[in-house]
């Protein structure tokens, strides 16, 4: 089952729970205030920590990892949406992030699959 997507402006006004699936060093570089942080490699064992009664907007850097997680959560019975363009587009729209980071200051992470494996073939950390 495929999750729907939301633009940054739609997501900002929806009042949904934000789930950030980036790596810890990316999270520390700035994130949506009040969001929950579960890295993509941990989502399969931690997804039940999320409130099923609340719609979720899943975010990452550009929308690739978050799309995988949004689809996974949808298959588990959650109402989940992918943030189109990720935090890169969020920041480009001038929407707020913690730490006062600007669009150019966001930390870029490695693309990973739903199991947390790097998609570029480089060794794991």
The CATH number that applies at residue 52 is 3.40.250.10
Q: Is 43 within a domain? A: yes
Range of the domain at 62: 4-103
**What is the pLDDT at residue 102?**
47
Q: Is 119 within a domain? A: no
Q: Is 85 within a domain? A: yes
Q: Is 75 within a domain? A: yes
DSSP 7-55: -HHHHHHH-PEEEE-S-HHHHHT---TT-EE--GGGHHHHGGGS-TTS-
First-to-last C-alpha distance (Å) of the chain = 31
- Residue showing tokens 């001038």: 94
Residues 31-78 have pLDDT tens digits of 999 999 999 999 999 999 999 999 999 999 999 999 999 999 999 999
- Is the pLDDT score of 20 beyond 70? yes
Q: Is 109 within a domain? A: no
**34-to-31, 69, 77, 118 alpha-carbon distances in Å:** 9, 19, 23, 27
What is the side-by-side strand order in the sheet with 36-37?
4-6, 80-83, 56-59, 17-20, 36-37
Q: Is 116 within a domain? A: no
Tokens of 110: 């490695």
Establish how many alpha carbons lie within 13 A of residue 114's alpha carbon, considering only the half-sphere containing its beta carbon: 12
Q: Is 110 within a domain? A: no
Exposure letters 13-29 (e unless 16+ CB within 10 A, then b): eeebbbbbbbbeebbeb
Instruction: Say how many domains are in the chain.
Output: 1
Residues 73-116 have pLDDT tens digits of 999 999 999 999 999 999 999 998 887 444 445 555 555 566 66
Q: Is 122 within a domain? A: no
**Single pTM value for the model:** 0.81
**What is the pLDDT at residue 30?**
87
């Amino acid at each position: 089952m495929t999750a729907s997507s939301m633009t940054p402006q739609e997501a900002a006004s929806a009042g949904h729970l934000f789930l950030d699936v980036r790596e810890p060093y990316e999270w520390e570089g700035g994130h949506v205030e009040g969001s929950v942080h579960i890295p993509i490699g941990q989502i399969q064992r931690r997804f039940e920590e999320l409130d099923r009664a609340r719609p979720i907007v899943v975010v990452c850097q550009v929308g690739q990892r978050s799309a995988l997680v949004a689809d996974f959560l949808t298959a588990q019975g959650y109402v989940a949406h992918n943030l189109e363009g990720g935090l890169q587009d969020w920041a480009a729209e001038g929407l707020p992030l913690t730490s006062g980071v600007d669009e150019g200051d966001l930390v870029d992470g490695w693309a990973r699959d739903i199991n947390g494996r790097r998609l570029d073939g480089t060794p794991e950390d």
